[in-house]
């Protein structure tokens, strides 16, 4: 039980990453694959946040008295995640708009049927 409590965030984040990867690899519907991409991104973001998270910690602002460095949350991963969320948003938006054009060409979202380009 203690193991789960200590590693809860890691289990959750790698769980989400693997679920996302599974969806991308297995699902045939393009929209579902993009959802998988989004889930994977969320998992990565949770992993990054949990790297510097401290239960009950607070923001590292030195104006407050009696605030020890050991009670501060590392701000760098949060800055990284902020950037990563924006990048993820851009990718999802581009993917969805490409999907719309693809649907107009093929009339289907099934990736097994969209197969003009082969090896």
Partner 1 sequence: MVNPVLLIVIPLGGAFAIPLFAFISKHLSKYISMIVALAMLIIVGVLIPAVSKNPIVVKIGGFRPPFGINLVVSPFSLFFAGIVSLVGFLVSIYAIKYIQKGDIDKYHLLFLLFLAGSVGVVLTGDIFNMFVFFEILCISSYALVAYNRDKDGVEAGIKYLIQGSVGSAFILIGIGLIYGLCGSLNMADIANQIHSVNSPLLFLALFLFITGFGIEGAIFPLNAWLPDAHSSAPSTISAVLSGFAIEVGIYAVVRFVWTVFGASNLLHFLAGLGILTLLIGELSAFKQNDIKRLLAYSSIGQIGLILFAISIGTAESISGGLFQVLSHALSKALLFLAAGYMIWKVSSRKIEEMKGIGVRMPITSFCFLIGAFSLVGLPPFIGFPSKFIIIKSALLTHQAYFYFLVGAVLLGTVIEISYFFKLLQGIFSKTEETGIDEAPLTALVPMVILTLLIVGIGVYPQAINQFLHLASHNLIDKMGYIEQVLGAL
Binding site for partner 1 (CB under 8 A): 17, 20-21, 24, 30, 33-34, 37, 40-41, 44, 47-48, 51, 76-77, 80, 83-84, 87, 90-91, 94-95, 98-99, 101-102, 105-106, 114, 116-117, 119
Contact (CB, 8 A) for 14 and 50: no
Least Cβ distance, residue 5 to partner 1 (angstroms): 19
CA distance 103 to 23: 20
Residue 65 or residue 119: which is nearer to partner 1 going by CB?
119
Least Cβ distance, residue 66 to partner 1 (angstroms): 25
Least Cβ distance, residue 78 to partner 1 (angstroms): 12
CA distance 67 to 30: 49
Contact (CB, 8 A) for 33 and 96: no
Residue 58 bridge partners (DSSP): 72
Residue 1 or residue 117: which is nearer to partner 1 going by CB?
117
Count of other CB atoms within 10 angstroms of residue 19: 15
Residue 27 or residue 67: which is nearer to partner 1 going by CB?
27
Least Cβ distance, residue 65 to partner 1 (angstroms): 25
CA distance 116 to 60: 54
């Amino acid at each position: 039980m203690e193991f789960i409590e200590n590693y809860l965030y890691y289990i959750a984040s790698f769980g989400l990453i693997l679920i996302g990867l599974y969806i991308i690899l297995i699902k045939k519907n393009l929209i579902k694959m993009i959802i998988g991409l989004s889930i994977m991104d969320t998992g990565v973001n949770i992993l990054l946040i949990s790297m510097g998270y401290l239960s009950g910690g607070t923001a590292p602002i030195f104006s407050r008295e009696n605030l020890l460095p050991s009670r501060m949350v590392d701000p760098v991963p949060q800055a990284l995640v902020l950037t990563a969320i924006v990048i993820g948003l851009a990718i999802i938006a581009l993917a969805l708009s490409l999907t719309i054009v693809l649907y107009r060409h093929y009339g289907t979202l099934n990736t097994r049927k969209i197969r003009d380009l082969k090896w």
